Chains A and B, each alone.
Chain A
Amino acid sequence: MRKTLFDKVWLKHVVVPETETHPATIFIDLHLIHEVTSPQAFTLLSNRGLGVRRPDLTLATIDHSTPTLVNHDGSRPYVSDEARIQVETLLKNTKKFGIETHGWDSEYRGIVHVMGPELGATHPGATIVCGDSHTSTHGAFGAIAFGIGTTQVGHVLANQCILMKKPKTMAINVNGKLNRGVTPKDVILHIISLIGIGGGTGYAIEYRGNVFEEMSMDGRMTVCNMSIEAGARCGMIAPDAVTFEFLKNRKYTPPNYENSCAEWLSLSTDEGALFDKEVNIEADMIKPMVTYGTHPGMGIPIDSFIPKSNNSAEKDSLNYMQINEGDKILGIKVDKVFIGSCTNSRMDDLRAAASVFNKKKIASHVKALVVPGSAQIKALAEKEGLDKIFMDAGAEWREAGCSMCLGMNGDIGLPGELIVSTSNRNFMGRQGPGVRTILASPETAASTAIAGILEDPRNSKKIK
């Protein structure tokens, strides 16, 4: 029987097969944990007198509640005592159970979905979970990777397995040539606007076609990251030479790397394998995209008009965003710009933003925040002088973390402010109570910071 990439990886991890009455027991190769969704799971373990079954397959970092500023005396300005305690609780729990942890003193600390791949811990054909819905990011390497809740974090800590029914599979095929100024972020925003915020519910997505084959790993991670914004817990891309090049010579690259690559290549979907659903998209239909509403499915080409509302929820959305049907979205006045998050905080993203910022100043009324995804990214960006470009333009260059994507660390906007953000969610209040969010690519965000109004990135000569 011809199998999909998802089928092959799934089958290799079945400990106990699914039956009519019971879900499958699936072995997990890598469990990533962070401070927000793990403390109650560790409490569950200690309440039941359980240990961590495979600390060697568990990796921890601190990213959500962490300040992105450092005080003059070197201390960290936590937003609250709770946030500080949460970070300390993670460090205490991981020390107790012998889990490798990338805390403040690690050169690898970063957003969990940036750090895993950088360490080379994200392997093709692996099963990866984390108490974070953007775990789908790791699917860019051909892994089955998905977010879980805290109860399941406890299950994996204790058993290295989860119980799950096999999801349906969906192929999203994007073929052809991308237009000038269209980035991976625009591709995924286009896809979500097409299939809808719930269009992927119940499915594992495989992104297929020459557009993804020609994408860098950074771009592939941006695409897979936002699978969950279409409701799909998991999004994957078949591993290939680009994947293998990325994974070379990293801390956790498998020792028998050449053999591993050969095995990983065989994971690709068999020719003629059937998906439960297929979506075909022509690449040249995609334009630079932005969101205009209050969920990631409400996306439009940046040069188009606000669509008519189909229902009361969409009307509420426009009211919240303070925009009107039929208006242009270009030119809307912007208060803040955020470049960062597990969606767009990698080198490709920072280089793209820097090329737009180069020798330009951001608008005087705009505050711009550039937050690298990890300490590794921060160091490399500084080596390339990108930090100087951002700061010369008038942007703030911060310590790595999730930052303004969800504002848990206090990096938030003020009520009513409009933020153009390279993150993944434009939900009401996500970036602070009453804050309005427009999701966009790093190129659009940088162009906008300079213009002070939502700006078409194609107006910059630096855009390819």
Chain B
Amino acid sequence: MSSETGIVPGSFRDPSGFLFRDGGVLYRQVNRVYQEHYERLMSSGLYVDLVDAGLLIPHGEADLAGPRPDESLLVIEPDVVEFISYPYEWCFSQLKDAALATLEIQKRALAHGMSLKDASAYNIQFVQGKPVMIDTLSFEKYEEGRPWVAYGQFCRHFFAPLALMSYRDIRLGQLSRVHIDGVPLDLATSLLPFRTRLRPSTLIHLHLHARSDTHYSEKQVDPEKLRGVSLRSLEGLVDNLSSGIKRLRWKPSGTEWAEYYGETNYSEASFEQKKNVVADYLDKIKPESVWDLGANTGVFSALAGATGASTVSMDVDPACVEKCYLEFSGNSSGDVLPLLVDLFNPSPAIGWECSERMSILERGFPQVALALALVHHLAISNNVPLEKIADFFAGLCQYLVIEFVPKSDSQVQWLLATREDIFDDYDRESFEREFAKRFDLLDSVDLESSSRTLYLMKKK
């Protein structure tokens, strides 16, 4: 977790200001060098326009000096974002919606005589299922004739990964985790199929863009000469990017969304029973925050979201996360944030000093963790001893709703079909013994027509 007081580690690049915490509250210091732009943002009507459209995080002015008062113009207190997520944890449609939101913000900024000076995907967060710009200091006064300075960054952070996911392989979205300032365009174009050269938007914004970047990388150009792009032309650029992004699509091959549900080991009755038991546990706890680990398409995350809990739904399958986002995110019945997370290799801390972007485990301690149909994957597929699994959950949450799946279950049999059974300790007794060392076992229910058991536990 970030410290309760001090400057936020990922907020050091922009000279316009930085984020800091004071008494656990997140603030943003606006530096004097940014005064002209901040005043334009607030007085031009752009701030109100973007906040009303749900595109920019609202803020209030705080009566604080800030950690660097010599540089400070003022301190603002932005609304709280419940859970910070990163682009490499988003499914295809989340990244696409974040890209379109960024372009819409730029379009509105241009209409108010301003422009985005950066277009980093990290400036977007999901609030109530919708992409929202969280960096209030990303705007600058528009100067007639000047090109969009964040165009290259936009293409690296959004267009390139989306095109790779759409045209080549959905897993290439993970390139954003390696390349913190977006996927290099020459790498993207070397991976994209030939047909992307025949489509105007990918030809221009990726292929020609990459060529232009390479060609001018070692040439000196007088920056004063890099002008002559009219406002209408910039609007055209934004419009063309937007059309190109909208045309990108992704659907898992060979499946229909309606058919996509990985869990097949339940009868309808036992699945309903499982939903009722989980809903009952959540109703008793009334949690503020829930993480659903191995959430599949998010059916149980939606139950948690419906209780009003801030719910993060994590799964390793991009198709499951996509389906969860399309069905449950921003749903009026509750707030669910679906994320692509591989529990065998969760998002690490990355960037400068390994602290610019937090690891997933640093980003919160959920009151309740749901671990349904998950333990056998951790223990058998990933060879994690039950003791370490219990340790992991004890360090993660206050309450745990966990399903034990015994060896007799057909899913476990399927996992064991191609590996040696070295899991002598994998049984219900060992499971209960290890978890009982760290948790109070509050309740357990055997699921009908199945050998599985659901537990409600509270950390000791």
A, B bound: no
